[in-house]
């Protein structure tokens, strides 16, 4: 049998195992991305808030503490490998909360993604024109209302490509969670390879499956992105330099 | 015009880093008065305006609006809701259509029910001639249309005082008129307005009082006739000579 025949053979014999693995991979990466997005919205949202002089001293102190804690969280989770985070947290907390591996895996990928999402959301918020905030505040909207109604909706649209990218990264990177024996695609691949001894072919098939998953996800995300942009397309407009305007208009009586 | 001052500013100072933008400004506005603030860029006009609705906090001095010491009030949001502001860059909410732009702050700040907010929004959008565009995405409008929506949005809050920060400076020449006409109408209806503008003809026509600012102080103020025809200060004369020709 040549290489391709073995690949097909593996795929047909172990199709069921691959499917289970795909299901687990998608479950972990999708829930990790969504929970991570929620964490990111909260952490990144609060981090981007700048309190003006109208805020109370207590609020300013709380904000400072929040900023320091979240900065540590973001730095640690972005600065260490998720594989290490998974093993450490799973075993460290096993005796405390006796959790199962799936919960641990989703927990780890969620807070890991959350750290990245927080920065994505924060920069998305900072990309929203300051005038939007000023207009909302001038109408009497509070800091929180301005954030929820005006800034965050625009920030999410700004950040959508990066948010989608996190999902694609998670499909691939969830493979490291097999370190705590999560039966995801990578875990299945390893056990199939161990049974058949066709390492090359098994991992080739596995790579192809990962590729199809990420490619499909990226096509879907691009489609959504296009739909969002269609709704918000701007017509071309000229921008006139205000300095020229005064001269052009004050001439005649 | 009544004699009651609704804005009283005493000796306010504002600095940005090393740059002192306001160097002790005293300034009063009576009810129903229309004031045009003129002057070179960097003279402190916009900063003065922004201090009035607390987008900037003065470093020193006192501002009383509606009899309240606004530099020491607790609820700044409630105060801002009573003061309308229009910006040079319009700042319509990009994530909402025209109608929603005019409704959101009524619903969230004044807690008006949606039906009432909608009715009010429609009334003012009609007034500024934008009722055909209520479902338009705010980004797809022309500059003049955006500014008219921004004016309607501010009016929906029933402000007792309106601040305009160079409302026509970012507009193409052919759109300036439509915005100024709306503002002229508001002036005739007796709304108290403070307008930072470079439109000297508009100032001459609409203002009850013209205030010329230079280098962080009010150099001269008075009726449009006085300022435009018989300015006392050489600086005023020089500025006007450069602006009107």
| Residue A142 with chain B: CB contacts under 8 Å | 77
pLDDT band at A230 (very low <50, low <70, confident <90, very high): low
**pTM for this model (two decimals):** 0.82
Q: Which is nearest to B151 in space by CA: B130, B172, B136, B133?
A: B130
Q: Which is nearest to B120 in space by CA: B105, B103, B138?
A: B103
Compare CB distances from B108 to A135, A141, A234 and report the shortest one's residue: A141
Give residue B27's Cα distance to chain centre. 15
Residue A172: the pLDDT is 95
Q: What is the SS3 string spanning B27-66?
A: EEEECCCEEEEECCCCCCHHHHHHHHCCCCCCCEEEEEEC
User: A228 with A33: CB under 8 angstroms?
Assistant: no
| Residue A246 with chain B: CB contacts under 8 Å | 169, 198-199, 243
* Res. A247: pLDDT tops 60: no
Instruction: Give the minimum alpha-carbon distance from B186 to chain A in angstroms, rounded to a whole number.
Output: 18
pLDDT band at A231 (very low <50, low <70, confident <90, very high): low
* Res. B97: pLDDT tops 50: yes
CA distances from B146 to A150, B196, B219 (A): 17, 18, 33
Give CA torsion, residues A239, A242, A247, A249, to 10 deg. Answer: 70
Give the three-state DSSP class for B231: coil
Q: What is the pLDDT of residues A161-202, one digit of tens each?
A: 999 999 999 999 999 998 998 999 999 999 999 999 999 999
Residue A227: the pLDDT is 85
Residue A77: the pLDDT is 96
Put simply, the answer to whether A242 touches B81 (Cβ < 8 Å) is no
Residue B3: the pLDDT is 59
Rounded average pLDDT over B182-206: 93
Q: What is the pLDDT of residues B210-244, one digit of tens each?
A: 999 999 999 999 999 999 999 999 999 999 988 87
**CA dist., res. B143 & res. A133, Å (int):** 19
User: Residue holding tokens 């732009």?
Assistant: B101
pLDDT band at A24 (very low <50, low <70, confident <90, very high): very high
| Residue A139 with chain B: CB contacts under 8 Å | 80-81, 105, 109, 153-154, 157
Residue A116: the pLDDT is 96
* Res. A236: pLDDT tops 70: no
Put simply, the answer to whether B89 touches A131 (Cβ < 8 Å) is yes
Which residues neighbour A59 within 8 Å (Cβ) at sequence distance 6 or greater?
A: A51
B153's tokens: 């949005």
* Res. A244: pLDDT tops 50: no
Residue A84: the pLDDT is 95
Residue A1: the pLDDT is 78
A121's tokens: 């959301």
B94's tokens: 């990009």
* ipTM of the prediction: 0.91
* Res. A108: pLDDT tops 60: yes
User: B155 with B84: CB under 8 angstroms?
Assistant: yes
Q: Residue A157 CB: number of other CB atoms within 10 A?
A: 18
Sign of torsion over alpha carbons B93, B96, B99, B105? negative
Interface of A with B in 113-132 (CB under 8 A): 129, 131-132
Compare CB distances from B91 to A134, A234, A242 and report the shortest one's residue: A134
Residue B58: the pLDDT is 93
Q: What is the SS3 string spanning chain A?
A: CCHHHHHHHHHHHCHHHHHHHHHHHHHHHHHHHHHHHHHHHHHHHHHHCCCCCCCCHHHHHHHHHHHHHHHHHHHHHHHCCHHHHHHHHHHHHHHHHCCCHHHHHHHHHHHHHHHHHHHHHHHHHHCCCHHHHHHHHHCCCCHHHHHHHHHHHHHHHHHHHHHHHHHHHHHHHHHHHHHHCCCCHHHHHHHHHHHHCCHHHHHHHHHHHHHHHHHHHHHHHHHHHHHHHHHCCCCCCCCCCHHHHHHHHCCCC
**CA dist., res. A46 & res. A147, Å (int):** 9
Put simply, the answer to whether B142 touches A139 (Cβ < 8 Å) is no
pLDDT band at A57 (very low <50, low <70, confident <90, very high): confident
| Residue A244 with chain B: CB contacts under 8 Å | none
Tell me what the pLDDT averaged over chain A comes to: 88
Rounded average pLDDT over A147-157: 93
Give the three-state DSSP class for B194: strand
**CA dist., res. B197 & res. A98, Å (int):** 68
**CA dist., res. B50 & res. B194, Å (int):** 11
Rounded average pLDDT over A90-117: 93
């Amino acid at each position: 049998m040549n290489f391709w025949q073995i690949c097909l053979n593996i795929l047909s014999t172990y199709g069921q195992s691959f499917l289970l693995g795909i299901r687990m991979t998608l479950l972990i990466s999708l829930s990790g991305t969504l929970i991570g997005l929620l964490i990111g919205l909260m952490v990144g949202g609060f981090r981007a808030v700048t309190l003006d002089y109208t805020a109370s001293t207590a609020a300013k102190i709380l904000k400072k503490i929040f900023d320091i804690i979240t900065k540590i969280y973001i730095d640690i989770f972005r600065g260490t490998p998720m594989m290490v985070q998974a093993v450490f947290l799973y075993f460290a907390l096993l005796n405390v909360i006796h959790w199962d591996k799936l919960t641990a895996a989703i927990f780890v990928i969620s807070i890991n993604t959350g750290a990245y999402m927080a920065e994505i959301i924060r920069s998305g918020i900072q990309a929203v024109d300051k005038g939007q905030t000023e207009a909302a505040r001038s109408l009497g909207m509070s800091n929180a209302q301005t954030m929820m109604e005006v800034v965050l909706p625009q920030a999410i649209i700004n950040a959508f490509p990066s948010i989608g990218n996190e999902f694609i990264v998670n499909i691939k990177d969830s493979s490291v969670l097999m370190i705590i024996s999560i039966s995801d695609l990578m875990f299945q691949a390893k056990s199939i390879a161990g049974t058949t001894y066709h390492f090359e072919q098994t991992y080739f098939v596995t790579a192809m499956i990962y590729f199809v998953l990420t490619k499909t996800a990226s096509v879907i995300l691009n489609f959504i992105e296009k739909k969002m942009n269609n709704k918000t397309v701007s017509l071309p407009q000229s921008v006139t330099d205000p300095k020229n305007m005064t001269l052009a208009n004050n001439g005649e009586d | 015009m009544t004699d009651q001052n609704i804005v009283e500013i005493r000796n306010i100072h504002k600095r940005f880093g090393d740059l002192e933008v306001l160097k002790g400004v005293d300034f009063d506005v009576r009810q129903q008065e229309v004031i045009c603030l003129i002057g070179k860029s960097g003279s402190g006009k916009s900063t003065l305006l922004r201090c009035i609705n607390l987008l900037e906090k003065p470093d020193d001095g006192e501002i009383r609006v509606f009899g309240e010491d606004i530099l020491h009030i607790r609820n700044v949001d409630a105060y801002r809701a009573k003061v309308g502001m229009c910006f040079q860059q319009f700042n319509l909410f990009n994530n909402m259509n025209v109608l929603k732009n005019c409704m959101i702050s009524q619903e969230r700040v004044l807690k008006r029910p949606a039906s009432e907010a909608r009715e009010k929004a429609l009334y003012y959008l009609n007034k500024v001639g934008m009722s055909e565009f209520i479902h338009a995405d705010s980004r797809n409008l022309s500059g003049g249309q955006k500014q008219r929506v921004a004016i309607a949005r501010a009016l929906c809050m029933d402000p007792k005082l309106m601040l305009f920060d160079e409302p026509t400076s970012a507009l193409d020449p052919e759109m300036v008129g439509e915005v100024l006409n709306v503002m002229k109408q508001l002036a005739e209806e007796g709304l108290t307005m403070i307008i930072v503008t470079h439109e000297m003809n508009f100032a001459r026509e609409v203002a009850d009082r013209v205030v010329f600012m230079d280098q962080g102080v009010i150099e001269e103020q008075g009726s449009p006739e006085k300022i435009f025809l018989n300015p006392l200060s050489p600086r005023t004369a020089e500025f006007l000579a450069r602006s009107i020709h």
